[in-house]
Amino acid sequence: MKGDKEFVIGVDVGTLGTRAGIFNLEGSMMGMGSQPISIYYPQTDFVEQSSEDIWQKTGLAIREAIK
């Protein structure tokens, strides 16, 4: 039956964290995960984030949602 094993993943990356949701084709949430993103303040009036950290945390959020 179509839809029994088909899912979609929604990912939202914001300033403070990344979130992932797993949904069936009817729109019901089947799982969710979230991870904080590190923020660095190298000097006054400067804020930085690491693209590598964002990518790694997004993968962790997706894996958490799949569980």
- The per-residue pLDDT for range 48-65, each reduced to its tens digit, is 999 999 999 999 999 999
Residue 11: CA count within 13 A, CB half-sphere: 15
Q: How many CB atoms lie within 10 A of CB 22?
A: 19
Split at pLDDT 50, 70, 90, the class of 47 is very high
pTM of the model: 0.82
Average pLDDT for the chain: 93
Q: Where are the domains of the chain?
A: 7-66
